[in-house]
Amino acid sequence: MNTIGKVILMISLSILGISNDANSQSPCIPQFTSNYEYVDNFAIHTLVSLYSGTSVNGYEVVPPSLYTVSLALGKSYPISVSTVDPISYVGNFGVWIDYNNNYQFEPEEKVLVDTNQGYTAACRFTVPADSSYLGERIMRVMYVRLGENITPCDNYYSGEAEDYTISIVGQQEDTMMYCMPFCPKLMSHVFPIEEFKLGSIHNLYSGYTPTSYSLYKHEEFTTTMEMGKYYSVKISLGSIAGVAGGYAVWIDLDNDGIFEAWERVFHDGPLLKTATGTIKLPVNPAYAGLRRMRVRSAWAEVPDHACGLVRAGETEDYTILVTESTVGESELLAVDADWSISPNPSRGNIEISSALPIDEIRIQDMTGRLIFEDNPASDHLSVNLSQPGIYIATVVIGKQVSRRRFEVI
């Protein structure tokens, strides 16, 4: 910015009663030439701001009477944020909390670091257990088109920054919160989940919500799933002609409040109106208990993340009970189909061959963690595993389920 531009900016800020001095009682203000791209959805803990749209000059101070939230020292919270839709230009997001209340957003105060060049981002962060952080604090949410390691006070071509006033408190009810999924405004009706069936859950003709998200109470819909057993699943669209997409299911098996990639237990699509298949949970006693399950639909794609934005679709959350396996070791390692793994042991490169096409294959380590899964529909598959250890491969061929143990050295 040239000298004249800086003078005009300082005069404008003075008229508005805003200071751009980092040592004053107002934070710095980033500058945007265009605000064509902007923060449209933002959620943290109980604060959910949907479809906020653009703001004048790409900067907005959100009054606490409209949106605020309390965060407790030492507690972990989910953040999710997105721009208006997946068709817009990609960029990067950043979220800062001015913990030390010096009206500067310092690098160590950045609670969401995004370098993915996308249209949505999500993470989970922990508030530092520092009593000097108690009180009202400013939180900045920012989106920059085609940014990389964005900073909170720079000049950019296009984007937006939103400042919120939040409260840091000492204690809070210990309730597990999950990230908020997003869908563009008025697009949840394009690919809604009209039927979901798994175990004793049969949610039929559920329709869609304006926010594209539903959290069902445990008393309303639930089921019990035993580790190591197969369960049929069905997810179906309504009767909208010409619309097809994909589906996915996650279960937070390790109960850490995050739907991780390995916890996606089912997916199908992207050109389907109804998806059917089976879900088998890995065997690990630590996974037993009440667990959150997330079901997502997405128009023209298979959802690959449980948080953030899809082009169109809907998300439903349930609470289920996961129980320990009653399957014995001899049954786990039973061989009932004509297929092989070679070499065994191997250096990590294995070949899986079968007399008939393999419909599904899952590879887990001895803790039950899912390492690899595929639906090859082929009689031959090559897999590379980088970590030495003992693994169990489960294949589904027709209606037969077979498991074998192999070793990587």
Closest CA to 189 of 106, 299, 285: 299
Within 8 A by CB and 6+ apart from 72, the residues are 127, 168, 169, 170, 171, 172
What is the Cα–Cα distance from 100 to 108, expressed in whole angstroms?
11
Residue 374 and residue 297 share a domain: no
Question: Is 20 within the bounds of a domain?
Answer: yes
CB–CB of 93/115 below 8 Å? Answer: no
Residue 160 and residue 28 share a domain: yes
Within 8 A by CB and 6+ apart from 359, the residues are 375, 377, 395, 396, 397, 398
pTM over 0.75: no
CB–CB of 117/146 below 8 Å? Answer: yes
Sheet of strand 389-397, all strands in order from the earlier edge strand to the far edge: 370-374, 360-365, 389-397, 400-408
Domain boundary among 275, 290, 323: 323
CATH number of the CATH domain containing 138: 2.60.40.10
Question: Is 176 within the bounds of a domain?
Answer: no
Residue 31 and residue 165 share a domain: yes
Residue 148 and residue 94 share a domain: yes
CATH number of the CATH domain containing 344: 2.60.40.2470
Domain count, the chain: 3
Residue 119 and residue 23 share a domain: yes
Residue 251 and residue 365 share a domain: no
- For every one of its 409 residues, what pLDDT tens digit does the chain have, with 9 covering 90 and above? 443 443 344 334 444 444 444 445 789 999 999 888 899 999 999 999 999 999 988 999 999 999 999 999 999 999 999 998 766 678 899 999 999 999 999 999 999 988 788 889 999 999 999 999 999 999 999 999 887 778 999 999 999 999 999 999 998 887 788 999 998 887 877 888 999 999 999 999 888 888 899 999 999 999 999 998 889 899 998 655 567 889 999 999 999 999 998 899 999 888 888 888 889 898 889 999 999 999 999 988 899 899 988 888 999 999 999 999 886 544 444 444 578 899 988 998 999 988 888 888 888 876 667 788 888 888 889 999 988 888 888 888 866 777 788 889 8
Residue 316 and residue 196 share a domain: yes
Domain boundary among 138, 169, 200: 169
Domain limits at 219?
Answer: 181-323
Based on its alpha-carbon atoms, the radius of gyration of the chain, rounded to whole angstroms, reads: 25
Residue 135 and residue 259 share a domain: no
Question: Is 306 within the bounds of a domain?
Answer: yes
What is the Cα–Cα distance from 388 to 377, expressed in whole angstroms?
27
Domain boundary among 269, 299, 323: 323
Residue 219 and residue 358 share a domain: no
Residue 306 and residue 200 share a domain: yes
Please spell the DSSP secondary structure of 139-182, one letter per residue. Answer: EEEEEEET-SS--TT-EEEEEEEEEEEEEEES--------PPEE
Question: Is 392 within the bounds of a domain?
Answer: yes
Residue 128 and residue 220 share a domain: no
How would you classify residue 53: left for phi > 0, otherwise alpha for psi between -120 and 50, otherwise beta? Answer: left
CB–CB of 207/192 below 8 Å? Answer: yes
Question: Is 345 within the bounds of a domain?
Answer: yes
Residue 346 and residue 218 share a domain: no
CATH number of the CATH domain containing 311: 2.60.40.1930
